[in-house]
Structure 1
Amino acid sequence: MPTPRHYLMCPPRYFAVDYAINPWMDPTQPVDRDLALAQWTRLRDTYRSFGHTVDEIEPQPGLPDMVFAANSGTVVDSQVLGSRFRAPERSAEAEHFRRWFVEHGYRDVIMPSKINEAEGDFAWTGRVLLAGTGFRTDPEAHAEAQEALGVPVVSLRLTDPRYYHLDTALFVLAEATDSAPAQVAYYPEAFSPGSRRVLARLFPDAVRADEADASCLGLNGVSDGHNVVLPGEATALAARLAERGYEPVLVDISELRKAGGGPKCCTLEIRK
């Protein structure tokens, strides 16, 4: 069933690919900022059409990746854990998001001491926080998140550089409830053998994506428990989700994908 969600997003007013910090980024290729803004606007309006709340943070010049708001905070039960970026090009984003939370009533914002790229590498399942490492977030940040948020953390190792964040290889379809376990979709080949075994044990009924699903960033999806927003090319994944009773919603994020982002990258969830 769909549940109301609260999201924080950042318009891509200064979007560009001026540097390369993941395999998707190629500064020699042109970027259409107007198209990126149109795609982002449709994504935002899609959320609002489902009845979700979408707040916006003001973008800042010189921070072209600020549109990828998911990397800037993790919020569980109104507790905010900020971010600490690995790439110096993005480091200033963390303070802008910290100030937004403080100005909007979240007084106890914890800023990490370890490299922690927030919901890029953290996925809340309603019971445990799945935590990725291997390319961006430090393994030590997982323990720091457990202390800050007071939730159990399960570490997962990513091994394919194309899937440099957990949210490029896994997303939560439905959070756990008192009567039902969490449901997730993921791309097994993005993970180490041990992490695959952990995922199979935790989520035996998961939707397992294939290379075609993953290679268009199809696992960078956003679900409210019923409506599942996916990149437009993820048609096979959409069909499998529809068979499970979900309502796939395909959106065009082709311009934003030039920087390695998709629907989830643009969407920080605020869980109160």
Structure 2
Amino acid sequence: MTDSQKPRILMCPADYFGIEYEINPWMSVQKGTDPERSSAQWKALHQTLVDLGVEIDLMEPVKGLPDLVFTANAGLVYHDLFIPSRFRYKVRQGETPRFEEWARSRGFRIVELPAGENFEGAGDALFCGDALFAGYRFRSDVQSHQWIGERLGVEVLPMELIDPRFYHLDTCFCPLAPGVAVYYPGAFDEYGRSVILDRIPTLIEVRAEEAVFFSCNAVVVGSTVVLNQGAPKLTADLERLGYQTRALDLSEFIKSGGSAKCLTLRIDGEEAANWKSAATPS
């Protein structure tokens, strides 16, 4: 595998990760996190991805921005375009200039959303084949997804999230390849479930008891799926489809409402993206 063929992922070390506020049902300032454990868990994920042949681009952690570690929320990458997130909660809005600075330093063209629209990056926008599946309600606005679809010239399929525990799309939906995905039905309204069933021929349905271990919040590298521990049924289903799995302990990050996928941003596009052309929208 040459360097140009290597998957590329953005990560941010967990040096300043912790629970300093509460903006989702998982977070508890009183319970907090264990810095040593979270650092060790982050390093284990980083090493696992390196072992799988991933080229990791590291951001500098920033004190006072504990959720900068969740780089999936940086924005949306499409070819050489970067659409930075516009966070709903003020406590996370300081992350956007950092992510924009990183994107510019890597040669991405920055495309900003219209004022007043919320969008939280690859946390709520995931390609599966040609279509961009987009979650809205808790963090991102459906209008932002429609604007992105028009700007990029791609089909966008907005789906409403209804369970606040699964507040981002990547907590309950994971594309594996064009036409193949993992999802937790209970996170979506009836229309959202019908969109997934109609548009994705091969689906693995995650049980509720495993969904709460953020088993959908996985990183796909070729035929390997890296996910949190606690999902033996999903693991068996994945292996029946020919996937290998790497289960890690990411419990400290689940306390903040994130897991493997939240801790990564695919710089070369989502694993299951099927960009038809190397051309970039003007």
Deviation at 1:148, TM superposition (A): 3.2
Q: Does 1:219 align with 2:216?
A: yes
Q: Is the 8 A contact 2:52 2:221 kept in 1?
A: no
Indicate the SS of the match to 2:164: coil
Amino acid at match of 1:211: A
Could you tell me how far apart the structure 2 residues matched to 1:155 and 1:30 are? Answer: 34
Unaligned runs of 5+ in 1: 177-181
Q: Does 1:230 align with 2:231?
A: no
Deviation at 1:57, TM superposition (A): 0.5
- 1:98 is matched with which residue: 100, 117, 121? 100
Quick one: percent identity of the two aligned structures? 38
Summarize the Cα distance change of 1:4–1:208 in structure 2 as closer, same or farther, 3 Å threshold. Answer: farther
Provide Cα deviations, 1:6-43, integer angstroms capped at 9, x if missing partner: 10001111111111100000111031112111111111
Deviation at 1:225, TM superposition (A): 3.1
Q: Is the 8 A contact 2:80 2:107 kept in 1?
A: no
Could you tell me how far apart the structure 2 residues matched to 1:11 and 1:148 are? Answer: 32
Could you tell me how far apart the structure 2 residues matched to 1:127 and 1:162 are? Answer: 28
Could you tell me how far apart the structure 1 residues matched to 2:159 and 2:7 are? Answer: 26
**Equivalent residue, structure 2, for 1:208:** 205
Q: Does 1:72 align with 2:77?
A: no
Unaligned runs of 5+ in 2: 270-282
Amino acid at match of 1:224: V
Q: Does 1:135 align with 2:132?
A: no
Deviation at 1:95, TM superposition (A): 0.8
Provide Cα deviations, 1:123-172, integer angstroms capped at 9, x if missing partner: 11131110000211011111121133332111111101110000000011
Q: Is the 8 A contact 1:82 1:109 kept in 2?
A: yes
Number of aligned residue pairs: give it: 263
Indicate the SS of the match to 2:139: coil
Indicate the SS of the match to 1:62: coil
Amino acid at match of 1:134: R
Could you tell me how far apart the structure 2 residues matched to 1:151 and 1:48 are? Answer: 31
Q: Does 1:6 align with 2:3?
A: no
Amino acid at match of 2:104: V
Could you tell me how far apart the structure 2 residues matched to 1:14 and 1:250 are? Answer: 24
Q: Does 1:150 align with 2:147?
A: no
**Equivalent residue, structure 1, for 2:46:** 44
4+ residue segments displaced more than 3 Å: none
Q: Does 1:262 align with 2:264?
A: no
Q: Is the 8 A contact 2:6 2:53 kept in 1?
A: yes
Deviation at 1:78, TM superposition (A): 2.2
Provide Cα deviations, 1:45-73, integer angstroms capped at 9, x if missing partner: 11110111110000111001110000011
Q: Is the 8 A contact 1:32 1:255 kept in 2?
A: yes
Could you tell me how far apart the structure 2 residues matched to 1:137 and 1:146 are? Answer: 14
Indicate the SS of the match to 2:263: coil
Q: Does 1:161 align with 2:158?
A: no
Amino acid at match of 1:120: G
Deviation at 1:207, TM superposition (A): 0.6
Q: Is the 8 A contact 1:81 1:149 kept in 2?
A: no
Could you tell me how far apart the structure 2 residues matched to 1:96 and 1:149 are? Answer: 23
